[in-house]
Amino acid sequence: MFRSSGTAKTRRRSSLLNPTVSKLARSSAHATTKSSAVPSRDRLAAPLPSSTMSGRATTIGIPGCTTLNRTAVNTPIRQSSIDPRRPVSNWSTGQPAKRTVPLSRPPRQPLTSAPKVFSSQPPSRRTAPVPREPSEAERLKEKLAVMEKSYASLQEQLDTTREMNSMLKESVEAFKMKLERSAMELDLKENMLDVTKQQFELAKEEIDRKDTLIKDLTSQVEEKEVVLRKLHNEAVDLRGQIRVAVRVRPLLTCESESGKAIEFPAVNTITVVTGSKPSGQFKFEKVFTPVFSQKEVFINIEDFILSALHGYNVGLIAFGQTGSGKTHTMRGGDAEDEGVIPRAAGFLFRESKKLETTGWIFEFTLSFLEIYNNEAYDLLNKNSTVRVRLSNGSVALDGLSEHKLAKLTDMTGLLRQADNNRRTAATKCNEYSSRSHAIYMWNIRAHQESTGISTTSVLKLVDLAGSERAKESGVTGQQFNEMTAINQSLSVLQKCVNLQKSKSKHVPYRDSKLTQVLMDCLGAGNSKTMVIVNINPSEEQAMESKRSIEFACRMRETHIGSAMQQRDL
């Protein structure tokens, strides 16, 4: 009765603490009674102790659960079956505790033998005192303490798990939101990609359309360029084979006391006043009065120079008495004072760049030749001698160096070299009088891939030495020889032009080095030629000016045959 009431008390107390604990306690107490704290899983594997097995079990309580065996409750439990040192299941983990002692089935008592009955009488004095077995209540208390501890631990675990669970829930929610946001962003980006793709397609179509347009326009430009070229060159031809322009320089300070012998009665018309009588009026394609700047002069002749890029041989010759302004016109000074030769370089580079857009490729080489005392010299190779040969109407210059001109600035060095090598001297009429003829030659090679046309043309820019009257010059010795050579070569030049004009069968080009070199510009070749006749306006030089103008008129009337494009075969 005492034990039963103790167990009931314990149960009531446990159920007051917590229904779960109470349940656990009930189940534990039951399990303890039944299997001496062997966890149920172990119980299945391990044999039950003999004391339990020997009692007759009456099943009461929850179905499926083995309840307390009354016989076993009344029967003193053997030490081995409730050994407190025996490990109980690990409640915190729910795993059975490790067994330290292997459970072996105890030897089975024969059923016939009578059950041992323990006497309730106190042991006799002679027998050793038996240690008191813990009461059922104590054992249950102990169990309860263990279970409460386990419960607290489980509660703690549960709290932690709940906390973790809520954290996990939160993080899952956050992930979900993030995922949704990412999905939305992806949608947006996909839309943008679609739009960009469409735009790209449109742009591609536009580029294709423009490419086709450019191709059409390019072919139209090429066709028009051919027509323009033809018209340009026909126009140049129509003006006469040798075009003549006259340039009259201003009076110099040193000539200020002298009166002017030149008048301009009309546009491109000139009159020379000799004595009191004015000469007749001479009309030319162009008359550059003293007010024309270097730039304006060049603008008026650049279309002519352009023919050289179109594959025609072109010659531009500055002619005139000494000190009339030939070198100024052709070479000039610096910057705004630059003459035709440096300006032509800039122009040829500019124009060639424009033509490159229609598929033309150009290559320029330069050679500078000097004719001094009727001999030819290389101005870009230490004045070495050059051999002039005529063959089949063309001029060959053996030993003349050629200098490739890749860019405009390359020209500066070459010009300086030629200036230094060219022979000049101070004369009575001109402080820096040219004692030689200078020929600045451009060899122009052009090629157009689409048509397969290649041309090789020559542009000759000529600064002649000036004619001079021996009597007026007052020179002697070497300078006299130079003057004689200059005058002779200019005389042959005039003779050739006169004979060419009168369509003579024999024109004596070979009579001087100058006419040999200029032969292809004067009628024996297929060149387009322009002569700029320079005039000194002073009264003192009136007669010389008149002679120059008369020579210009003869040249103007000289037919030299149509120029031909110099195509490579």
325 is in an annotated binding site: yes
Q: 249 vs 310, which CB is nearer to ligand ATP?
A: 249
In sequence order, which residues have a C-beta less than 8 Å from that of residue 45 and are 6 or more positions away?
A: none
- Identify the DSSP state of 530: E
Side chain identity at residue 489, one-letter code: S
DSSP state letters, 480-524: HHHHHHHHHHHHHHHHHHHHHHTT-S---GGGSHHHHHHHHHHTS
Q: Which two tokens stand for residue 542?
A: 């009136």
Please identify the residue of the shown chain whose CB is closest to the bound ligand ATP.
466
Q: 206 vs 431, which CB is nearer to ligand ATP?
A: 431
Structural contact between residues 243 and 531, judged by C-beta atoms closer than 8 angstroms: yes
Compute the least distance from the CB of residue 287 to ligand ATP, in Å.
13
Structural contact between residues 563 and 526, judged by C-beta atoms closer than 8 angstroms: yes
Compute the least distance from the CB of residue 231 to ligand ATP, in Å.
32
Q: Which two tokens stand for residue 380?
A: 């870009």
320 is in an annotated binding site: yes
Binding site for ligand ATP (CB under 6 A): 249-250, 252, 320, 322-328, 430, 432-434, 465-466, 534
Q: Any idea which residue has 């060149």 for tokens? A: 527
H helices, E strands: number in the chain: 14, 16
Q: How many angstroms separate the CA atoms of 545 and 321, rounded?
A: 7
Compute the least distance from the CB of residue 260 to ligand ATP, in Å.
14
Compute the least distance from the CB of residue 297 to ligand ATP, in Å.
8
Compute the least distance from the CB of residue 415 to ligand ATP, in Å.
15
**What sign does the CA torsion over 487, 490, 495, 496 have?**
positive
Structural contact between residues 404 and 364, judged by C-beta atoms closer than 8 angstroms: yes
Q: 139 vs 437, which CB is nearer to ligand ATP?
A: 437
Q: 320 vs 525, which CB is nearer to ligand ATP?
A: 320
Q: 29 vs 297, which CB is nearer to ligand ATP?
A: 297
Q: 51 vs 545, which CB is nearer to ligand ATP?
A: 545
With H, G, I as helix, E, B as strand and everything else as coil, classify residue 257.
Answer: coil
Residue 140's CB is within 10 A of a number of other CB atoms, namely: 25
Strands 360-372 and 403-404: antiparallel
Compute the least distance from the CB of residue 380 to ligand ATP, in Å.
20
Compute the least distance from the CB of residue 510 to ligand ATP, in Å.
25
Structural contact between residues 344 and 490, judged by C-beta atoms closer than 8 angstroms: no
Structural contact between residues 544 and 329, judged by C-beta atoms closer than 8 angstroms: no
Q: Using alpha carbons, select from 124, 123, 136 the residue that is nearest to residue 74.
A: 136
Compute the least distance from the CB of residue 306 to ligand ATP, in Å.
24
DSSP state letters, 262-316: EE--STTEEEEEETTEEEEEEE-SEEE-TT--HHHHHHHHHHHHHHHHTT--EEE
Compute the least distance from the CB of residue 496 to ligand ATP, in Å.
20
Compute the least distance from the CB of residue 425 to ligand ATP, in Å.
9
Q: How many angstroms separate the CA atoms of 562 and 215, rounded?
A: 35
Q: How many angstroms separate the CA atoms of 512 and 493, rounded?
A: 8
321 is in an annotated binding site: yes
326 is in an annotated binding site: yes
Q: Integer distance in angstroms from the first to the last C-alpha of the chain? A: 140
Which residues on neighbouring strands pair with residue 567, listed in sequence order? Answer: 455
Q: 81 vs 434, which CB is nearer to ligand ATP?
A: 434
Q: 94 vs 474, which CB is nearer to ligand ATP?
A: 474
Q: 288 vs 304, which CB is nearer to ligand ATP?
A: 288
With H, G, I as helix, E, B as strand and everything else as coil, classify residue 415.
Answer: helix
Q: Any idea which residue has 């109470």 for tokens? A: 22
Compute the least distance from the CB of residue 292 to ligand ATP, in Å.
7
Q: 87 vs 290, which CB is nearer to ligand ATP?
A: 290
The residue ranges of DSSP E strands in 149-296, in sequence order, are 242-248, 262-263, 269-274, 277-283, 286-288
Q: 322 vs 421, which CB is nearer to ligand ATP?
A: 322
Structural contact between residues 285 and 243, judged by C-beta atoms closer than 8 angstroms: yes
Structural contact between residues 535 and 328, judged by C-beta atoms closer than 8 angstroms: no
Compute the least distance from the CB of residue 330 to ligand ATP, in Å.
8
322 is in an annotated binding site: yes
Q: 250 vs 413, which CB is nearer to ligand ATP?
A: 250
474 is in an annotated binding site: no
Q: How many angstroms separate the CA atoms of 340 and 347, rounded?
A: 10
Residues belonging to the binding site for ATP are: 320-327
